[in-house]
A and B are shown apart, each in its own frame.
Chain A
């Protein structure tokens, strides 16, 4: 019976072939480690965000007058509304935590190198979309921090020379942040950006299954195949990876649920305390702090304190911040190393990667605290080291000595 139905479909749609290609028979390298879990967990979080988002949408009111109260309505009067909202807020933080791990994995094992350049670029686009989703979503509760974060970020466009002020008014749709701004951000957050995200993630996975997964050794598993054309050092996704992933999802959900139910504010990191107050355009909060996942870039923005070449410090800060996010996309063309994985790269690569991670964390900290002259100096220093990882890469990857890469995966 089942076979009959499947046959009926297969005559009209490549159903079995697609399932085999992308799920059951997808060959995954045997030495994938814990870093390779971030990808599947990102898909889980994407589903969580889409589902909880739809339910939030059923009760949220996208107006400047009603938004804040409607959130409290969800938290108090809607049955289990608080669970849905906390799921969405915790999910937002989890999304960024995981995508950072996912990107770091790629950087560590050289997963952006040929033939995976396009895969990396697509992944970078999802990161970009996520940043926009995070920002637009943050404004929707219309609390004090929502309003002032929108004010700070949008005002950056106003710093662009010549066209800035007009562009800013065009983006806001008003002469100040208002309900009109809220409505357009709402439209982006619930329609345009999720649609784009789903589409890009879909293509990202298609591209992955075209070129195959990289692995911690950076060995090309397709060099050696058995008589059926299946690479030797791989295992089929079903049942080996799926059971592994299921276990990982269980562990991940334990952490997720613990935060969601027991520490939904996350100590002020998941939900900022200032946002307990409704937006008030006459009252600026003492410290405007972005969500933790933007703090490294916020630190970069504040690190530029001097005008240069007739451009304002604010505009230069904006450019540096945007460059900090954008530069990831150039990685496949900056890396001149003959080997992929950090395991076989030379000492300079290891040093600069470590420096990059350190810079990212220090900038993240600096972006979450008030600035002092010493902290600004530190932010400037670590902004330079952050970019050094990327900009010096063509040099240090070319001239360092790498270890020889084995032909096949070595399992210890």
Chain B
């Protein structure tokens, strides 16, 4: 029986080990010049808590994508029909609200823009985003979407903290408002980890730190919190795009594992029975 238990133990260990790795984060490229809100880390992405089972979030994400992103970025390996089925959006509603132009429900999700012209306009053809969340990681996508800021030196007037000098305009400015890169007075830390204080007055000492993002209040349709949620929805949708079979895959996987556990158990009992002959 010992062998069986150690097998089960080993399996649980490996499972726990893999689970402890945040595989999404591991895939991500570092986040450029992105400064965390507390000003302590630079270049680390915010965590996107994507959830493939949250259909409402995926639906909202799809809505944003089809309205704001699809003008330039295709999802050319995916089909409208599958998206409508997976996200549980009724076919008629999907056709009316989320398919533009004369594309059919069974078509791949293409853009109408001519790639050559796009290259002239933006300096580069906007990439297809079907697999973007797999390529860069969901955390990267999420942080990138939140990191546009006003920069008059750029041809389109905006820049991005995560992807410096990107050719993309701030398409979501209508929702977010006008983000600026600002400087703030931040507390400075002593060597022991506590706040640095003025030895005479006891007041906290601060130092100026630049690179924070702040949106002009009231300039966008959404509040900063609402915008973060919207970007998480959009990221969630892109993560789904990369791995649309996740839910089905894990369901089948669970049943397969259950079957194999029973099979292995029985084969162990058979093995044990025959082993008795040998000694």
Residues of A within 8 A of B (CB): 30, 69, 72-73, 75-77, 82-83, 86, 235, 239-240, 243-244, 246-247, 249-251, 253-255, 257-265, 267-268, 273-274, 276-277, 411
Distance between Cα atoms of A263 and B17 in the complex (Å): 12
Q: A69-B77, A75-B245, A267-B23 are in contact. Are A276 and B264 (CB under 8 A)?
A: no
Interface pair A262/B253, CB less than 8 Å apart: yes
Listed by A's residue number, 7 A-B pairs whose Cβ atoms lie within 8 Å are A76-B78, A244-B274, A247-B264, A254-B261, A258-B18, A273-B137, A276-B242
Separation of A244 and B136 alpha carbons in the complex (Å): 44
User: Separation in Å of the A65 CB from the closest CB of chain B?
Assistant: 13
Query: Does A76 contact B82, Cβ atoms closer than 8 Å?
Result: yes
Of the candidates A258, A259, A273, which one forms a contact with B135 in the assembled complex, judged by CB atoms under 8 Å apart?
A: A273
B23, B82, B134, B252: the one within 8 Å of A263 (CB): B23
Query: How far, in whole Å, are A354 and B78 apart by their CA atoms in the complex?
Result: 50
**Inter-chain contact B21/A267, CB cutoff 8 Å:** yes
Is the CB–CB distance between B82 and A258 below 8 Å? no
B250 near A262 (CB under 8 angstroms)?
yes
Is B55 an interface position by the 8 A CB rule? no
Task: Give 4 A-B pairs besides A75-B245, A258-B253, A276-B134 with Cβ atoms closer than 8 angstroms.
Answer: A72-B77, A255-B14, A262-B253, A267-B21
Q: How would residues 127 to 164 of chain B score, 1 for a CB under 8 Å from any chain A CB and 0 otherwise?
A: 00011101111000000000000000000000000000
Interface residue from B21, B76, B242, B267 paired with A250 (Cβ < 8 Å): B267
Q: Which residues of B contact A257 (CB under 8 A)?
A: 253, 256-257, 260
Whether A246 and B271, one on each chain, are in contact in the complex, defined by CB atoms closer than 8 angstroms, is yes
List of A residues within 8 angstroms of B121 by Cβ: none
Q: Who on chain A is nearest to B127 by CB?
A: A277
Residue with the highest number of chain B CB atoms closer than 10 Å, among A260, A268, A276: A276
Q: B7 near A: Cβ within 8 Å?
A: yes
Q: How far is the CA of A265 from the CA of B252 in the complex (A)?
A: 17
Cα distance, A411 to B278, chains bound together (Å): 11
Q: Please give, as numbers and ranges, the residues of chain A lying within 8 Å of B15 by CB-CB distance.
A: 258
CB pair B260 A261 closer than 8 Å: no
Give A273 to B11 CA distance when docked, in angstroms: 26
Tell me whether A240 and B278 are in contact in the complex, defined as CB-CB below 8 angstroms, given that A83-B249, A273-B134 are known contacts. yes
On whether A240 and B277 interact (CB within 8 A), knowing A247-B264, A255-B11, the answer reads: yes
Interface pair A243/B270, CB less than 8 Å apart: yes
Alpha-carbon distance A86/B256, docked complex (angstroms): 14
- B195 touches A (CB below 8 Å): no
Query: Roughly how many angstroms separate A83 CA and B248 CA in the complex, as a whole number?
Result: 10
Query: Cβ of A258 and Cβ of B271 under 8 Å apart?
Result: no
B26 at the interface (CB under 8 A from A): yes
Known A-B contacts A247-B264, A267-B26; the reply to A261 vs B270 at CB < 8 A is: no
Bound: A76/B76 CA distance, A? 12
Q: A83-B252, A261-B249, A274-B135 are in contact. Are A268 and B14 (CB under 8 A)?
A: no
Query: B26 touching A268 by the CB < 8 A rule?
Result: yes
B26 partner residues in chain A, CB cutoff 8 A: 267-268
Given A250-B264, A273-B134, the answer on whether A262 and B242 have CB atoms closer than 8 Å is no
